Structure 1
């Protein structure tokens, strides 16, 4: 999970057979949210 786009499609992503784990990339996700590197921000 590294972008807002993937976050908005989380249900579809997790419905794919064979996936057993979801890994969040907090730095990449925060960058896509405009709060680059602020991994403790409440928005994240």
Structure 2
């Protein structure tokens, strides 16, 4: 019983590390676009 609890805790601690990769992959391009689009707009003069 105790072994199962510690195993579940280990999985729970490993989850944020596994989750952070897809989160970064999804959010980073969006953040970059939000940062880059105004610069492009200023450069093109629209």
TM-score by length of 2: 0.20
**Which has the higher relative contact order, 1 or 2, with Cα contacts under 8 A spaced 6 or more apart?**
1
Structure of higher CA gyration radius: 2
Q: Would you tell me which structure has more helix in proportion to its own residues? A: 2
